[in-house]
Each structure stands twice: as C-alpha cells, then as structure tokens.
C-alpha cells in the first residue's frame, strides 16, 4: 500500500480525530493560532500602510524595512523568542514570530494598492470638497481593495503553512501530528498531517478569494455600469 493510501486510511480512522491529541483538536488549535496571528498582523500593518499610502510619504522606507525582515528565518526568530522570558507564556513566542512573518505582504500590498489608485479620480474627489478621511475611505480604499486582499490572502496562506513550526518548541496545531509521526517513524501520520496543512491552506485561500469577490466595492460598480448603458441605448432608440 502506498504512502498516500495509508495516509488516507489514517485520516479516515475515527480514533485519530478524537481526544486532546486527535486531529480534530489539533485542527482547532491551528485555526485559532492562524486567526489570532493574522488578525494581529492586519491590525499592525494595514492602518500604517493605508495612512502612509494616503499621505505618500515614508511608505517606501517602511516597505523596504518590512521586506528586509523576510530575510530572517521564522524558525530562528521562534527559537530566539522561546529562549527569552517570553518562552514562559505558551504560544506567545509563536504568535510574535508569525505576526512578524505576516506583516511584510500585508504592508507591501496595502501600500502599493493605495499608491496605485487612479490619481485623477483621487484629485477629482478632492476637488469636489472631500476631506482627507473621506478620500481615503470612499475613494482610495475601494480602488486598493483588490491588492489589499491579495496581501491578506498571501499572509493567511503563509501563516497556515508556517504555524506548523509551533509544534517544535512544544506548541499546538497540526504540526504536532507531523512531529509525532516523525518521533514514532509513522510515515502515514506524517503524510496525513502534511495533507491536513495543505488542505487547510487551500481552504483558507478559497474562502478569502470568495470574500474578496463578494465584498469588492468596485465589482458592484462594474456590474452596475453596463445596465445603465443599456437603458441609455434603449431610450435613444425610442426617441429616434
């Protein structure tokens, strides 16, 4: 029997999903860790990126500094944080490491999205008397929404995949299934854990892509425009 078939057998065995060390509990831990880290990263990166993109100053430096942080391996940051007094507080080192890992794509995409917003539209909004906050919220943010969500999706998938490292210093998540399989030389369990991580990453990506499509403010405007054009054409033909 191949490794994939054995992994499927492992995944479809009910006993492997039950209990504190079961896949169900580990999956819930992984989802909680991902949600917390992604939420904190968005709370840190997005306000900074949106404001810097709006005022057009200091953003390039912030993006370069955040991108430089990508050169530092997440595992190295996790180990160093675990050796500090923060290591006494459970998942805190893992959360800090994953937040630092998720900030660069969020910051970069949000800033670029704001700066690439159509300047003619922005200046027209200012000429209509909109305040800076109104321009940010009602003009620049809708125009940058697609790139912002691209950054969120990228960060989410990276956090889901990298959160498996939480198991190495003794944390929870799906990584515990993989490390336990390595410790017992159980290849099907290792493959099953990897499948769960990959499936979760794909599911998160799909859900965020659906959310982007549903809540994109520019999509509603694009779909409304053809209908208006048809009404105008129909009216012209009647008048003719």
Q: What is the pLDDT of residue 123?
A: 83
**Contact status, residue 23 vs residue 196, Cβ threshold 8 Å:** yes
Six token digits for residue 119: 């300047």
Sign of the four-CA dihedral 169, 170, 172, 173: positive
Sign of the four-CA dihedral 210, 213, 216, 220: negative
The arithmetic mean of pLDDT across residues 50-74, rounded, is 81
- pLDDT, mean over the chain: 84
User: Using 50, 70 and 90 to split pLDDT, how confident is the model at 54?
Assistant: confident
The pLDDT tens digits for 179-222 are 998 888 889 999 999 999 999 999 999 999 999 998 888 776 66
Q: What would the CATH number be for the domain defined by 3-239?
A: 1.10.3720.10
| Counts for the chain of helices (H) and strands (E), in that order | 11, 0
The arithmetic mean of pLDDT across residues 154-180, rounded, is 89
Distance (Å, whole) CA 234 – CA 238: 6
Residue ranges covered by each domain of the chain: 3-239
User: Using 50, 70 and 90 to split pLDDT, how confident is the model at 235?
Assistant: very low
- Name the maximum alpha-carbon separation found in the chain: 82
Q: What is the pLDDT of residue 239?
A: 42
Distance (Å, whole) CA 178 – CA 193: 5
**Contact status, residue 143 vs residue 3, Cβ threshold 8 Å:** no
DSSP code for 140: I
Tell me which of 209 and 235 has the higher pLDDT.
Answer: 209
Closest CA relative to residue 30, chosen from 196, 239, 221: 196
**Contact status, residue 94 vs residue 166, Cβ threshold 8 Å:** yes
Q: Which residue has the tokens 């993006």?
A: 63
The pLDDT tens digits for 101-144 are 899 999 999 999 998 888 888 888 888 888 878 888 888 888 89
| Residues across the chain | 240
Most confident by average pLDDT, 58-62, 180-184, 230-234: 180-184
Q: What is the pLDDT of residue 1?
A: 55
Q: Which of 92-96, 149-153, 154-158 has the lowest mean pLDDT?
A: 92-96
pTM of the model: 0.84
Q: Which residue has the tokens 């909109």?
A: 130
Closest CA relative to residue 116, chosen from 150, 71, 153: 150
Q: What is the pLDDT of residue 220?
A: 64
Within 116-216, residue ranges assigned H as helices are: 119-127, 132-135, 141-162, 175-183, 187-215
């Amino acid at each position: 029997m191949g490794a994939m078939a054995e992994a499927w057998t492992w995944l479809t065995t009910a006993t492997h999903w039950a209990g504190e060390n079961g896949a169900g509990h580990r999956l819930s831990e992984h989802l909680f860790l991902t949600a917390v880290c992604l939420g904190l990263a968005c709370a840190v990166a997005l306000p900074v990126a949106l404001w810097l993109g709006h005022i057009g100053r200091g953003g390039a430096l912030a993006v370069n500094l955040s991108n430089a942080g990508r050169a530092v391996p997440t595992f190295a940051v996790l180990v160093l944080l675990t050796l500090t007094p923060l290591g006494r507080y459970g998942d805190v080192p893992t959360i800090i490491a994953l937040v630092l890992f998720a900030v660069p794509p969020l910051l970069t995409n949000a800033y670029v999205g704001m700066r690439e917003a159509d300047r003619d539209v922005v200046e027209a909004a200012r000429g209509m008397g909109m305040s800076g906050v109104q321009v940010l919220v009602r003009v620049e943010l809708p125009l940058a929404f697609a790139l912002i969500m691209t950054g969120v999706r990228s960060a989410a998938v990276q956090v889901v995949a990298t959160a498996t490292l939480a198991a190495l210093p003794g944390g929870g998540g799906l990584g515990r299934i993989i490390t336990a399989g390595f410790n017992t030389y159980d290849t099907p369990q290792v493959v099953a854990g990897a499948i769960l991580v990959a499936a979760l990453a794909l599911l998160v990506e799909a859900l965020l892509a659906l959310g982007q499509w549903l809540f994109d403010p520019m999509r509603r405007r694009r779909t409304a425009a053809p209908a208006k054009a048809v009404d105008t054409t129909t009216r012209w033909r009647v008048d003719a």
